[in-house]
Amino acid sequence: MRYFLLLLFICVTFNSTAIIAAEDDPFSAPTEQQQNQAVDGLAAPMYKPLMERYILDELRAVRQDQQKLREDVTKQVTHAQLDTADRAITYTTDTINNVFFIITATASILVLVGWNSLRDVKNKVEDIVNTRVSVITDEYEDRLKILEEKLRVRSEEILSNQERISVTNEVHSLWMRANLESDFANKIEIFDEILKRKPEDVEAIAYKADALLEINDTAQAIELCNQAIEIDSDYGYAYWQRACAYALIHEHADALADIKMALDYSPNLRNELLHESAFASLHDNESFNEILSATSV
């Protein structure tokens, strides 16, 4: 309403001035003299002080309203910007706090399970892997050691068997030579070769004792027979050879005792009692004859 009245007043004032100017000189502007004459001829002032004051007050009020409106708009915009900034800061703060909460919770969990950092996790994994690899390596090393030990034992058995086969072949060859040899001294040497390869061969010991009896070495023959009996007390031919040695030195009681032992362990020797030349001194012995009688029965 104020704006409307102000515009109406301005329009009326300009129209009055234009009408007066048109009455004086409708075609040209008045001169200074004419203006002075017109002013002197005025009977009353052309403006009204109250109206002017009203217009000025209204203009000032309009200016103040505009200033206040501008301030209000500025305040609203400022408050809106502050609210937006506050919301952004609040959101950022909450986000950062949540991130820190998550990091703190994760770190707490890692601490609880014994892993304080990613390096601890890496070290833990490496320790687990190294431990497992060590266990597997030790297991396979133990298996390899067992396998190597079995292979070593098997190799030793093979070598031992080969050696025994070789010794057996050599001994067999020496036995064939001994059977073909007619000289008792050479036989004794052959039996010595056999005993070098098989020291506990009671058969070779007994046959060596037999060869010694042939060359009248009864003492060594008895010693060899005792050695054979110590090795194998069930070997009858060792008792037989010792009985022959005792008979040759006329120890008939010992000879008869060994004959009985020999016949107990080797009954097939009964057929050799009458044919054994070493028992010639026992042919008149009653005990020997009883043994012969028992054999013939």
113 found inside a domain: no
Taking the whole predicted model, whether its pTM rises above 0.85 is answered as no
Give the HSE-up count for residue 84: Cα atoms under 13 Å, Cβ half-sphere: 6
Q: What is the pLDDT of residues 41-67, one digit of tens each?
A: 655 555 555 667 777 788 888 888 888
Q: What is the pLDDT of residues 200-254, one digit of tens each?
A: 888 888 888 888 888 888 889 899 899 999 998 888 888 988 999 988 888 888 8
Residues 231 and 263 in one domain: yes
108 found inside a domain: no
- As to burial, measured by CB atoms within 10 angstroms (0-12 exposed, 13-18 middle, 19+ buried), residue 195 is middle
112 found inside a domain: no
Q: What is the pLDDT of residues 139-167, one digit of tens each?
A: 888 988 898 898 888 888 888 888 888 88
110 found inside a domain: no
Residues 29 and 59 in one domain: yes
Total domains in the chain come to 3
Q: 185 lies in which domain range?
A: 181-296
Residues 216 and 136 in one domain: no
Residue 208, helix vs strand vs coil: helix
DSSP assignments along 232-244, one per residue: -TT-HHHHHHHHH
Residues 162 and 185 in one domain: no
132 found inside a domain: yes
